[in-house]
Amino acid sequence: MKLLDTIPEISSEPLDKIGKDCEALHILFTAFDFDLFSLLEESKTAKQISDEIETQLHLTEKFLNALVALQLLSKHDGRYTNTKLASTFLVKSSPFYQGNLLRLHAKGTDNWSKLSSILKGETQKEPDGRFEGVFDQNFILAMAEGAMRGSLHRTVKEVSTLPEFQRARKLLDLGGGHGLYAIAFSQTNPNLEAVLFDLPHVTEVAKEFIAKYGMQDRIAIIGGDFLEDDIGNGYDTIFVSDVLYRKKDVLLGSLKKIHDALNDNGSIVLKHWLLNDDRTAPPVSVLFDLKLSLQGDRHYIYTETEYIELLQEVGFSSIRVLDISSSSSPSAVIIGRKEV
């Protein structure tokens, strides 16, 4: 057989992309180290940039060209400036800044590097106590940045059209984190009294966002662990976003607590990532499901069918599902009613 008699029938491009993604991530984080995107809201030469960040000129120019190749910078007549992508998501002063979220993604690479040993049964140490070390300020800011990518806007747009939301007078944002959903719901429904419930140290971050939007008089805050503590009662709507990735027994307990805290004909509104029934798609959810499992056996991503069955098991009815997914956020809103 001659060497050139055979050629692959498919492209290796998907494999190349996997390998190159790691390189791109390191280049991006190096740009963050120098706060480069804030410097390049106006165009500058490689020499100007090198002088400002105190780096070697010849390497800096190659580095800047790599950022151009990644479509994060543009280059015209030897001058560099941010692309619209970078200006929107990578400049700290932008309302859509994603730096904390991108760093959070990278932070999880330690567990990925242990995947082989974890598959063989190596036990992972799970967080103790109330997760102060996990849900720190950077984590909460990262979750806020993720919401501002568009999932917040899509969720509130869909939920605000629901008759039960329009009738609601008291809403609980359970595990509300940064508080952006409570803020947006309150701004959408002027008759709404909102309550945000989360761990005490998390609510300190939420208070800053609530003050930023001038909503101190519209949103009450309760600090606690919803897995253990009383969450109150008399709610017309309880909204829960991306916090019920728990094993079935824990999740059922949380759903029962929510059911009990609602008024008759009150509604639960879940906004979570989903898997298909085969648990093989969408890719973002599949990888997230595996990533959570690398941190211990407490966490689990559910399918739409599983969520519906769990809600029915604790007494919810009239269950509907709204698709609000995007390529980066395969979410759905699931609504159930507590019937009399």
| Range(s) within the chain of domains with CATH label 3.40.50.150 | 113-119+130-338
Model pTM? 0.88
pLDDT at 130: 45
Tokens (6 digits) for 185: 């719901």
CA dihedral (165, 253, 299, 336) positive or negative: negative
Look at domain 113-119+130-338 and name its CATH class: alpha beta
Least Cα distance to 169 among 266, 260, 240 occurs for 266
pLDDT at 1: 66
Q: Which helix (H) or strand (E) holds 80?
A: strand 79-82
Q: pLDDT tens across 87-110, in order?
A: 999 999 999 999 999 888 777 666
pLDDT at 127 over 60: no
210 CB burial (10 A radius; 0-12, 13-18, 19+): buried
Q: pLDDT tens across 247-284, in order?
A: 999 999 999 999 999 999 999 999 999 999 999 999 99
pLDDT (average), residues 292-316: 90
Q: pLDDT tens across 158-198, in order?
A: 999 999 999 999 999 999 999 999 999 999 999 999 999 99
Scanning the structure block, which residue is given the tokens 């407490």? 298
Fold of 12-92: Arc Repressor Mutant, subunit A (1.10.10)
| Range(s) within the chain of domains with CATH label 1.10.10.10 | 12-92
The letter for the amino acid at 305 is T
Scanning the structure block, which residue is given the tokens 């050629």? 7
If you count them, how many residues does the chain have? 340
Q: How confident is the model at residue 113 (pLDDT cuts 50, 70, 90)?
A: confident
The letter for the amino acid at 323 is D
DSSP 224-271: S-TTTS---S-EEEEEEES-----HHHHHHHHHHHHHHEEEEEEEEEE
Q: What is the mean pLDDT of the chain?
A: 91
